[in-house]
A and B are shown apart, each in its own frame.
Chain A
Amino acid sequence: MAFIPSRIKKHKTAMPEATLNLTSMLDTFTVLLIFLLQMYSTDGQLISPSEYLTLPNSNVEQPPEVGLDVVVSKNMILVNNEKVVIMDDVTANNAAIMEHGIIKPLKERLQYYSSQAKKMETDYGVKFSGKVVIQGDKDLPYFELVKVMRTCGLGGYPNMRLAVYRPE
């Protein structure tokens, strides 16, 4: 009897080994990795820009420093991300909160923080430098900025820094 090849076996092609070609993906990853490593700075994020404002641009080289965050946005003033006063009251010199160009609620809040920091200094030896980082909106009028700075000085924070963007 002549050999009749099996119909089933004949058509059963060998299952090809399924492997994804990962080379292209790896290429992308390598480029991304190099880019991110180059962007990476060991300083960490010392100042997180507030969402309520646009910082002014500057060509200053000085890296950010740690300090108490005072955010002066278009609508309100925040200290350590806590709302202190509404900006309209400051602009209008509302007598309930303003006194001789001093923003009273802000001064009280700053004095609270500086007294806490001084207590830390006496109790645990953490040096209190009186540093404050002011993040102001780029359209903030000079007059309002001066009010905030004056209040910072009286609130126990004489070392002022202005936070700015450094565009490349």
Chain B
Amino acid sequence: MAFRPSLRRHSKEPNTELNLNPLLDVMTVLIPLLLANSQFAKIGVIELNLPPAAGAANIAQGVSGLPKETSRHLDLVVTITDKGFYIASAVTAPEEMPGGGPAIPVNTNGEYDLPGLSQKLFEIKQKAGTNFADPEAVVIQAEPSISYQILVSTMDAARGLRIDGKTVTLFPNVALSAGIL
């Protein structure tokens, strides 16, 4: 029998490759666009509440619309000093460590005990319940040399507390206070 070359050699394979060029074109446009528009550092803002001015409207009415005589105020004040946090409110006696120290002193290595502050404020929140006209307000004051980061961290600690994966709102309405210059 004469030699017959294989037929396979002659069958031309069709070009099965996908044409990816249009996809690539879209990508090259989209990626620079998104890169230019994206912000990698997320920025937020902390809203500050000015202490209410002692104007006529405030004297006539409390925060909740009740006459001022019948509405009680919690008047929570957190004071940041270089020794720690002092806390004062209507439901707590001005708490101090024996020997006149702050309610929540700094750690032995000089760091502020922010979880301790949150915990303490949580206790105050529970003690206060709904008996007060300003259940979410806190006034923060600080010594002149306290750094901005510590102030912001204190606001964070006063704003909420995470317990078992849930966030408990404490005192998000922050006002800052300072002595009269």
Residues of A within 8 A of B (CB): 19, 22-23, 25-26, 29-30, 32-33, 36-37, 39-41, 44-45, 47, 49, 55-65, 100-101, 133, 136-143, 145-147, 149-150, 153, 158, 160-168
Contacts and interface: CB of A to CB of B under 8 A. Distances in A.
Contact of A146 (B34, B47, B152, B178): B178
Given A143-B144, A161-B45, 10 more contacts: A29-B31, A58-B44, A58-B155, A63-B44, A138-B148, A145-B148, A146-B178, A160-B50, A161-B47, A165-B44
Interface in B40-84: 40-48, 50, 80
Contacts of A55: 43
B136 interface: no
B181 A101 contact: yes
- Chain B, interface size category, equals 35 or more
A142 B142 contact: yes
Contacts of B21: 22
B32 to A, nearest CB: 10
A143 B151 CA distance: 11
Contact of B153 (A58, A139, A150): A58
B145 A59 contact: no
Contacts, number: 144
Contacts of A163: 43-45
A36 B37 CA distance: 9
B126 interface: no
Given A138-B147, A142-B144, A166 B42 contact: yes
B90 interface: no
Given A19-B17, A29-B27, A164-B43, A58 B152 contact: yes
Contacts of A142: 80, 142-148, 151, 178
Given A58-B153, A142-B147, A162-B152, A149 B44 contact: no
A101 B179 CA distance: 11
B38 interface: yes
Given A36-B34, A138-B149, A142-B151, A100 B181 contact: yes
Given A32-B31, A142-B147, A168 B24 contact: no
B176 interface: yes
B75 to A, nearest CB: 20
Contacts of B44: 58, 60-64, 163-166
A133 B144 contact: no
Contacts of A149: 48, 176
Contact of B46 (A44, A58, A150): A58
23 contacts: A29-B27, A29-B31, A30-B27, A36-B34, A39-B39, A39-B40, A57-B152, A57-B153, A60-B44, A60-B45, A133-B45, A137-B148, A138-B147, A139-B147, A139-B148, A146-B178, A149-B48, A150-B178, A150-B181, A153-B50, A164-B43, A164-B46, A164-B152
Contacts of A133: 45
A64 to B, nearest CB: 5
A64 B27 contact: no
Nearest to A140: B148
